[in-house]
Copies of this chain bind each other. A is one copy, B any other.
Amino acid sequence: MLHRSVWPYIASIAALLLLWQLAAGWVDSRALPTPMAVLAVLEREVTSGALPYHLAVTLARVAASFFLALLIGSAIGIVMGRSVLIDRLGDSWLIVFLNLPALVTIVLCYVWFGLTEAAAILAVTINKIPNVVVTVREGARAISRDLLEMAQVFQLGRVRTLRHVVLPSLGPFIIAAARSGLAIVWKIVLVVELLGRSSGVGFQINLFFQLFDVAGILAYTIAFVAVIQLLELGVLQPLERRANRWRR
């Protein structure tokens, strides 16, 4: 079973690497170094300790903002999806915050709260929440009325209805929000680090960009992607399988 499920992954990653190698050979430019060149940079950065340090810092920021955003965003999304009035009242705020450029929130947070870790995480969270709200709200609107009525008749109460009816119904939406959310949070963290932090992958990537060192950028990107890939295989997918095991 393990064998069967891991095999396509390995194959497709190999294909990706091959494609990359071919493309790099074909364009032969500094803008796309070969996998080996990137690997060399990766090794250098790992040995120097720079990569583990910056990666750890970034991961911590991503994790903190991600959970905050997912929690708060889901709560708001559920409420807006279930109450027409609150939805109407909140909708224009949602659209404003959804479309506020990351730059604006980040600068305002930094200027108000100083260039602190808390300000950085707050900025990312504020940026991400509206996306979670939008996705979870659609989910909340699509919850089966049959089941909600059942919960009402049998007097499950708010908490148990939330836990046993609402949240499981939202499953696919929350998973979607989490997956793409993790990626978005990471991208915003990159900007936050560019604009006001002295550590983290975003800080490093932008330094490499100044030097037009694409190999360096890719090395750090790959390190992060590898962590996410491991999280996927080790945490998210097993969780998802468990959550979906009721499906016919």
* Alpha-carbon distance between A112 and B232 when the two chains are bound, in angstroms: 31
Cβ of A64 < 8 Å from any Cβ of B? Answer: no
* Alpha-carbon distance between A209 and B179 when the two chains are bound, in angstroms: 31
Contact with B along A51-91 (1 / 0, CB 8 A): 00000000000000000000000000000000001001111
**Copies of this protein chain in the complex:** 2
Cβ of A175 < 8 Å from any Cβ of B? Answer: yes
Instruction: Determine which of B32, B137, B180 lies in contact with A135 in the assembled complex, contact meaning CB atoms within 8 Å.
Output: B180
Cβ of A8 < 8 Å from any Cβ of B? Answer: yes
Cβ of A167 < 8 Å from any Cβ of B? Answer: no
Q: Are the CB atoms of A176 and B173 closer together than 8 Å? A: yes
Q: Are the CB atoms of A134 and B99 closer together than 8 Å? A: no
Cβ of A119 < 8 Å from any Cβ of B? Answer: no
Q: Are the CB atoms of B102 and A187 closer together than 8 Å? A: yes
Give how many A residues have a beta carbon under 8 Å from the other chain's beta carbons: 68
Cβ of A42 < 8 Å from any Cβ of B? Answer: no
Q: Are the CB atoms of B172 and A99 closer together than 8 Å? A: no
> Chain B contacts of A186 at CB under 8 A?
99, 101
Q: Are the CB atoms of A11 and B135 closer together than 8 Å? A: no
Q: Are the CB atoms of A229 and B95 closer together than 8 Å? A: yes
> Chain B contacts of A232 at CB under 8 A?
91, 95
Cβ of A150 < 8 Å from any Cβ of B? Answer: no
Contact with B along A192-230 (1 / 0, CB 8 A): 000000000000011001000010011001001100110
> Chain B contacts of A134 at CB under 8 A?
176, 179-180, 183
Q: Are the CB atoms of B176 and A112 closer together than 8 Å? A: no
Contact with B along A98-136 (1 / 0, CB 8 A): 111111100110011000000000000000001100110
* Alpha-carbon distance between A60 and B119 when the two chains are bound, in angstroms: 34
* Alpha-carbon distance between A234 and B12 when the two chains are bound, in angstroms: 44
Name the 9 nearest CB pairs between A and B, nearest first: A31-B111, A8-B88, A138-B172, A138-B176, A135-B176, A98-B183, A131-B180, A134-B180, A142-B172
